[in-house]
Every structure is written in C-alpha cells, then in structure tokens.
Amino acid sequence: MAEFTMELNDEQKEVRDWLHGFAADVIRPAAAEWDEREETPWPVIQEAAKVGIYSLDFYAQQYFDATGLGIPMAMEELFWGDAGIALSIVGTGLAAVGVLANGTEEQIGTWIPQMYGDVHDVKVAAFCSSEPDAGSDVASMRTRAVYDEATDEWVINGTKTWATNGGIANVHVVVASVDPELGSKGHASFIVPPGTPGLAQGQKFKKHGIRASHTAEVILDDVRVPGSCLLGGKEKLDERLARARERAAKGGERVKNAAMATFEASRPAVGAMAVGTARAAYEVALDYAKTREQFGRPIIDNQGVAFQLADMRTQIDAARLLVWRASWMAVNGKPFTAAEGSMSKLFASETAKKVTAQAVQILGGNGYTREYPVERMHRDSAIYTIFEGTSEIQRLVIARTLSGMPLR
C-alpha cells in the first residue's frame, strides 16, 4: 500500500507537465471554436491519440498508479485547458470504469480497447445510466433487460438520456433493470457492441456549458446482445440477485448496484475536473487583477479583490486535497466510511461554481464577454454540481453514510 503523500514523484511531475503543455498548446487554442460549434472536437481527440493521451495504455497507467494521484492529476490538467474538449477526451473513461468495476478479465480485455480504437481510427464509448424519469432516483429505472434462454441473449428496451457520446459511440455500456422488484439492487450493466440493431441516437442536447462534448439520448428498441455481454457474467448476477432477495426479506440490508459502483469509482475524478476549471478561472482573474488599473493602481491592491483571490486559492487547494485523499483511499482499498468520495466531488464542484463566478466578477464587464475565457469557464462549471450525482445527492449520501442509514 502506498503511503499518502501531497508531493508528486518525478515521474508524475513529468506526466503533469506533459499534459499541461498539451492543454496549453492544443486544447486552449481550440476551446472557443468548439464551444461555439457545439460539436465533438474530433481533430483534438485525434491529436490526443497521436501523442498517447487518448489511449488505453495512458488511462491504465494513471488508473493503476499506486498513489491514486494519476487520474486526478491528469483530469485537473486537461480540464484546466477546457472542460468541453477535455470531457470529449476523457468521456470514454466513464464507460471504461463501468467495465473495470463490473466486468470479467476477458470482458475488460475485449471491450476496453474497442472503446478507444487506435491512432488511425479513433473511437469513443458511452456509459448510459440516466433516464428521463430516473436521474438521481436510480431505483425508478425503466430500461429492462430480459434473458432469452433459448438464444442466450439479453433483450434490452428503454430510453437513456444525458449520455456523453451517446449514439456516436462505438461501444455503449448500458445499465438496465433485470429484476424491477429489487429496485436499484436489481440492476445490471451490459455491453452493446458496435452496429447492434435497435440502438439509435435520440435527441442531441444543446447545453449551457461543456458544449464541445456530445450529449444525447440513446434509444434501445429490442436490442439483443449475447449473454457474454452481461458484465460480470450471469452466474455472478444470479448470486447477487439471490443475496439481494434474501436480504430484502430480512429487512433490506444495503447492496451495491452496478451504476453506483461506477459512480463511486469516478466521483473523485469529477472533483479533479472541477479543480482544473476552478484553477484556470482563478489564474485568469489573478493575472487580470495584477494588470488591470483603476484609480491609478492595480485592482489587486483593493482588499475587495485581493480577499476574493485569497479565498479562491484557499478553496481550490482544499478541494484538491479532498480529491487526492479520496483517490488515494480508493486505489488502496480504504472504505469510504464517511463518504469521502462524495465529499470530494461535492466540495470541488461547489468550489468551481463559486470561483468561476468570482472570476467573472473580478473581470467585470470583460468577464461577461466571450473575449475572455472566464465566461465559458463559468458556464462549464455548472455541470459539476449536476452530473454523476447532484450536490444534493452527494449531501444525502454523506449524511446517510454518517448516520448508518441505507443508501437506496
């Protein structure tokens, strides 16, 4: 087990500086264009693939970093560049985490490489959990997967929404109910291979922020996938469902479901994304405050501005420490006994919204225009308190964990 440390080692620093350079030289110059176009920035993803950032190897190296700091460090630097483009680069990772959290070794080896493609033929993947009537309330999920024993296939029907890369993905990971009576405990995750009949893109959303990231509905109409596409396998699923039924009969003891396993693993990473956006806005505001003069002196000489900057930096550093702690705990098998993963996501996402708003205020009228990037950063920051569990849900998770109440 790696000791917890707040100091990156030499190798991590080298990777951080490499990512920072890519974010500064490739992502940032393209950010405004792709935000306006509201399209997937395929050329930027291609460049990331060429240098090895968009690849299974890079993701695996960071994911299996013994200190736990590889993923949050990478997320912070990429999202410092631009949240929308960065999400297009890392969005496949959520689907990959879904397979890593629930799949067999064979499934991991088969499907994750297909999610990324290669430098000559870049692919993306999508994780499909939320539904029009089941966002935070995962127990209300209506997408059904029914096993056809005669053909050893699962038949999936339903509609997913808010899916990053939904409909344009090569591989979709879909969470569906296999036993509605068990609520969220009756969920399972399935791979939908490329070209599977019955899967189609629905509405593509025009969003307030992260507009370079493709977000859409995914329609599943009698989608048939082989039994081997059930993540973890049917024997494991049957055992888990039997335990859930037994525990439900005894009073409803808590059981982890497939979607929650994915979100638990990814929440600190989302916190790191928020830290990156907050840091970017803070740096713009700091530079502006040191050079912008009013009444014959830089505005940073005014306590009203200086104190805001002091608070912004303090909150960013505190958010990063919470993210690093949760990431270290996760990779070293430490249980989140106080919902530390949700804590990190909650604090970092709220920090990003607050810091970006303060950055707009410090820049005044300039901050409200698209001539300066803080306007875009402020729009982008809103998503962190919404996706992968709203701030309200994070508080509920933390409170229930502290009290010992079951998570539903």
Which residues is 144 bridged to in the sheet?
157, 177
**Which residues are CB-contacts of 403 (< 8 A; sequence separation ≥ 6)?**
none
Distance CA 374, CA 361 (A): 10
Distance CA 175, CA 350 (A): 28
Answer yes or no: 181 catalytic: no
Q: Would you tell me how many other CB atoms lie within 10 Å of the CB of residue 402?
A: 11
User: If you search the block for the tokens 């505005």, which residue do you land on?
Assistant: 299
Which residues is 216 bridged to in the sheet?
163, 204
Helix H, strand E, coil C: the string for 52-92 is: CCCCHHHHHHHHCCCCCCHHHHHHHHHHHHCHHHHHHHHCH
**Which residues are CB-contacts of 179 (< 8 A; sequence separation ≥ 6)?**
185, 186, 241, 244
| Strand bridging mode 125-128 / 171-177 | parallel
Determine contact, residues 44/89, Cβ cutoff 8 Å: yes
Where residue 195 falls (left for φ over 0; alpha for ψ -120 to 50; beta otherwise) is left
Helix, strand or coil, per DSSP, at residue 408 = coil
Determine contact, residues 374/356, Cβ cutoff 8 Å: yes
Catalytic choice (131, 264, 340, 388): 388
Burial of 113 (0-12, 13-18, 19+ CB in 10 A): middle
**Phi, psi at 270, each rounded to 5°:** -65, -40
Which residues is 134 bridged to in the sheet?
131
**Which residues are CB-contacts of 209 (< 8 A; sequence separation ≥ 6)?**
83, 84, 376, 379, 380, 381, 382, 383
Fill in the DSSP letter of residue 24.
I
| Strand bridging mode 171-177 / 153-164 | unpaired
Distance CA 153, CA 146 (A): 8
List residues with catalytic annotation. Answer: 388
